[in-house]
Amino acid sequence: MRKYLKCSLVIAGLLLASNTYAGGSIDLTSGANDVANEIKKLFPIVAGALFIVVCLMNLGHFTKEGGDWKKGLTNIVLYVVVVSIIAGLYTFVSSQAL
């Protein structure tokens, strides 16, 4: 199972790389820039809304009698770390020229 997952990830990576080169050769960069600009506008709103949902979902860890503070804080910190990694990767990828 693990072997097939690695193989499929390698194939997906190669396909994405080849699509990037094909997109540059037929001038799809203007459309891609429009999509990237829309994502830049929506990302903070979506991330903030999801943060509120995560906090509300973990509220039970803080308010219940005998609640587990460590678990609630761990879940919130984990969410912040994942969003930070996604934002960093997006910033890195958007800074690369086609």
> What does pLDDT average to in each consecutive run of 10 residues of the chain (98 residues)?
68 65 61 78 84 83 78 86 86 72
Would residue 23 count as lying in a domain?
no
- The H or E element that residue 63 is part of is helix 59-63
- The closest of 76, 27, 97 to 68, measured between CA atoms, is 76
Residue 62 Ramachandran class (φ > 0 left, ψ -120 to 50 alpha, else beta): alpha
DSSP letter at 67 equals -
Domain that holds residue 48: 28-95
Would residue 85 count as lying in a domain?
yes
- The H or E element that residue 84 is part of is helix 69-95
Residue 37's pLDDT is what? Answer: 80
* Number of domains comprising the chain: 1
Would residue 14 count as lying in a domain?
no
